[in-house]
Every structure is written in C-alpha cells, then in structure tokens.
C-alpha cells in the first residue's frame, strides 16, 4: 500500500503564508518525505503591501506589487486554493471552507491569516471611512479621487500617525498638489511614536514641506459622509472632508479568534519560540500570533518579521517531518523604511541612516530583493530599469 504523503495546510497568503510555502518547496525533501502542500487565501493575488502606496501616484502598476498566486507557485508543486476559511476543527484536523462542502484535511497547519483593520471604532467609520490594507482598498480610494478630479479643492483626513498614515499623507499630498488639503490626525503627542528619531524627523519635515496639517493629541468623535468631528483638549470641532482614510489598529481574523488554542488579550495565538501553538502540529506567524523569540524580545507585527518567521516555520516543519531538531526563532531588526513621496524616503537601521533620493533607491532595491520569486524579481527589476527610458522617449515624441 502506498503511504499517504504528509499534508500541510497554510491559511493565508501574505508574507507569512506565501513565504512559508515557498520555503517548504525549496527544502531538501526525499521522494518519500515530500509533503502535499496547499495554500489557502480568499484573494487570487499576493500583495507586497509595503509598496501599495506607490499605486496612488502611478509609480508602480498592480502586476508589480500584486502578482497572481498561480504565477508565483508555478512549478513548485504547491496547490493553491482560492477560498474563504469558515472554521478549523483541530480535533479531526480539518479546515472547512465557507459556502462550500469542501474540507481540507491536514497533518500540519500554518495559521498566517494576517490582520484586519478595525473600522468600527467610532460612529460612522464603517460607513464612511476607507481602510488602506488591500488592493481593493487602493482601488476604492482611486475611484473616489477620480470622482473628485473636477473639484478645485480636495479635503482628506487620515486617521493614524503611524507608518501607514504618514506614507499615505505624503503620497496624497504630492499627488493632489495645490488642490489638496490633507490632514493627519493622531491621538498621541507625536507621530511615529515607536520609530527611530531619525525617521520621525525626516517624516515631520516631509509632511511640513508637502503642506500636510498634523493634529496631535486629537481624537475622532464621529464621521459622516461630508464631515469629521475631532476632539482636542475637550473641545470638539467639525471639519468638512471629502475622504476619510482609517489606518489605526489591527484585529485578528474571527477564524483565528475561534481556534481552541491559547490566546493573549488581543486574541492573538500565543506561540513557543519554535513558532508552535499549544498544539505542536499547528504553527502560526505574522499578525495572527504573539511571539517572544529565543532572546526574549517581543517580535513586532511587521512584514519584515513575518518574512523572517516564514523561513523558520518552513524549516521547523521540515525538521518535524524528517526527525531533525527544531530551531527557536531569532528575530533580527534590520531597520525601518518608509516612503515620503516620489523620490523621497527614509531608512534607519544597522548603523545606516538615509533620507531623500538615496533612501528611495535603497528602499526600492531592498524590496525588490524581498519579492517572492526570482522570476518576479527579474520582471519587476527590468521594468524599473526600462521606465526612465520609456519616460524619456515619451517626452521626446511629437505631440499631436
């Protein structure tokens, strides 16, 4: 009788899930050991989320930052299942798919479903605010901006002064130019509270140069279709707006919250240093999980951390299946980067501090290196190299 291959099911196709799958496909399996791997995600495309902001200014195209899973997984032997997960039965080891009778059995499970933006924290936010986490969010914002093109003035409020809020503010202020009235609202007493001082200073200078209004120590009371109510020092002002963008917070997916495993107060799965839950056949990473690494440091919920965790989860699954020792995760902080508009960025880490055009180039190259497959890296890299040539030819072509 032929032995059934080990079945690995990976829930979520973000940095954690996709990169775990790709890592597993690269490990030295023997013919008898090689597992069946299925990657489950409700969308058909992977999103390289740190570059999502470049869609707003036309610097990048969708195919560059959101390649289809079928393209990325071609010739890897990994099966892709586009579906929404309804629930997981950890006792019988089955994943149930929503609105279908499909059941995915597993021997090992990887939970990498990422986070969701909590859009219901204040009255009116769910109805009138736009989050900025997915391609669909970017398209929704683009559609809204195009509808406002005839307007002499476009008023935008961005809630949250973290990386996402600051990057959005810079990109939108640059895109709209003199037509834009961009306001960044932050409840704390400074933007980028957990970031290096160098990045914070560069961001503040960029926001000022681009004419972005920054409201610190300000809370959102409510949002309507045409206005936003802001509280500052117990005084509430209502300000007219055309667009409200919500970048505050991350919540764990309901499917992950419902798992009968150990959770923390934020509903994240609590992990061992080997990135396993209290059921050793279930691994987790990314925003779904709380992880204290082998050195005792708390791992941040960033794409950089998920990228590193995926390497360890892949290795440890291979080690479990092939009777090798597992490795405790060790997080390495390589620094933080963010875009501050076209040809402007900031980078701080590993003793290096850069801002301006050089940081913009370094950021692009580092993200190109981290893109999921060599084929995609080559296609995107060649497109970036050829873009200045195309721009030059376009500028020299005679106008009709």
Burial of 396 (0-12, 13-18, 19+ CB in 10 A): exposed
Decide if pLDDT at 399 tops 50. Answer: yes
- 10 and 363 Cβ atoms separated by less than 8 Å: no
pLDDT tens digit sequence for 155-210 = 999 999 999 999 999 999 999 999 999 999 999 999 999 888 999 999 999 999 99
- 9 and 40 Cβ atoms separated by less than 8 Å: yes
Average pLDDT of 297-308?
90
pLDDT at residue 2 in the model: 57
Decide if pLDDT at 395 tops 90. Answer: no
Indicate the pLDDT class of residue 1, thresholds 50, 70 and 90.
very low
**CATH number for domain 7-42+83-116+251-321, candidates 3.30.2140.20, 3.50.50.60, 3.40.605.10, 3.40.50.150:** 3.50.50.60
Residues 6+ apart with CB under 8 A from 289: 111, 268, 269, 270, 271, 275
Determine what percent of the chain falls in helix, strand and coil, rounding each to the nearest 5.
35, 25, 40
Burial of 189 (0-12, 13-18, 19+ CB in 10 A): exposed
Domain 125-246 is found in CATH 3.40.50.1100: no
CA 378 to mean position of chain CA atoms:
22
Decide if pLDDT at 397 tops 70. Answer: no
b/e per residue 18-42 (b: at least 16 CB within 10 A): bbbbbbbbebebeeeebbbbbbbbe
Residue range(s) of every CATH 3.50.50.60 domain in the chain = 7-42+83-116+251-321, 125-246
pLDDT tens digit sequence for 259-292 = 999 999 999 999 999 999 999 999 999 999 999 9
Distance CA 142, CA 274 (A): 41
368: closest CA among 357, 376, 360? Answer: 376
Neighbours of 230 (CB within 10 A): 20
CA distances from 169 to 51, 180, 339 (A): 15, 10, 10
pLDDT tens digit sequence for 366-381 = 999 999 999 999 999 9
Distance CA 247, CA 87 (A): 28
Least confident of 169-183, 238-252, 290-304, 309-323: 290-304
DSSP, collapsed to helix, strand or coil, labels residue 102 as coil
Distance CA 205, CA 65 (A): 28
pTM for this model (two decimals):
0.92
* H-type alpha helices, 27-74: 62-65, 69-72
């Amino acid at each position: 009788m032929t032995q059934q291959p080990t079945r690995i099911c990976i829930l979520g196709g973000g940095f954690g899930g996709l990169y775990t799958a790709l890592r597993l496909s690269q490990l030295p399996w023997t013919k008898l050991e090689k597992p069946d791997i299925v990657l489950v995600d409700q969308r058909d495309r992977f999103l390289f989320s740190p570059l999502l902001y470049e869609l707003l200014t036309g610097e990048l195209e969708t195919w560059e930052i959101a390649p289809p899973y079928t393209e990325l997984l071609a010739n890897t032997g990994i099966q892709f299942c586009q579906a929404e997960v309804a629930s997981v039965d950890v006792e019988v080891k089955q994943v149930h798919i929503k609105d279908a009778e499909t059941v995915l059995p597993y021997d090992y499970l990887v939970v990498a479903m990422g986070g969701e933006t909590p859009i219901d924290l204040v009255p009116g936010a769910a109805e009138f605010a736009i989050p900025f986490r997915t391609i669909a969010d970017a398209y929704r914002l683009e559609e809204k901006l195009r509808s406002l093109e005839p307007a002499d003035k476009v008023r935008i409020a961005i809630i949250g002064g973290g990386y996402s809020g600051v990057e959005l503010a810079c990109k939108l202020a640059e895109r709209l130019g003199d037509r834009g009235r961009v306001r960044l609202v932050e409840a704390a007493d400074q933007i980028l509270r957990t970031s290096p001082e160098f990045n914070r200073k560069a961001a503040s200078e960029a926001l000022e140069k681009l004419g972005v209004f920054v409201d610190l120590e300000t809370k959102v009371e409510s949002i309507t279709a045409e206005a936003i109510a802001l509280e500052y020092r117990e005084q509430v002002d209502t300000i007219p707006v055309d667009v409200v963008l919500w970048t505050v917070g991350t919540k764990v997916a309901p499917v992950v919250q419902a798992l009968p495993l150990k959770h923390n107060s934020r509903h994240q799965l609590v992990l061992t240093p080997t990135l396993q839950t209290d059921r050793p056949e279930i691994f987790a990473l990314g925003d779904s999980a709380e992880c204290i690494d082998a050195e005792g440091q708390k791992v941040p919920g960033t794409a950089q951390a998920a990228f590193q965790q995926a390497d360890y989860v892949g290795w440890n699954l291979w080690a479990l299946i092939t009777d090798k020792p597992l490795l405790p995760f060790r997080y390495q902080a390589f620094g933080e980067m963010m875009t501050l508009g076209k040809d402007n960025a900031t980078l701080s880490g590993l003793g290096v501090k850069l801002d301006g055009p050089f940081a913009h180039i370094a950021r692009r190259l580092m993200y190109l290196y981290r893109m999921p497959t060599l084929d995609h890296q080559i296609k995107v890299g060649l497109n970036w190299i050829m873009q200045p040539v195309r721009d030059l030819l376009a500028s020299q072509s005679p106008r009709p």
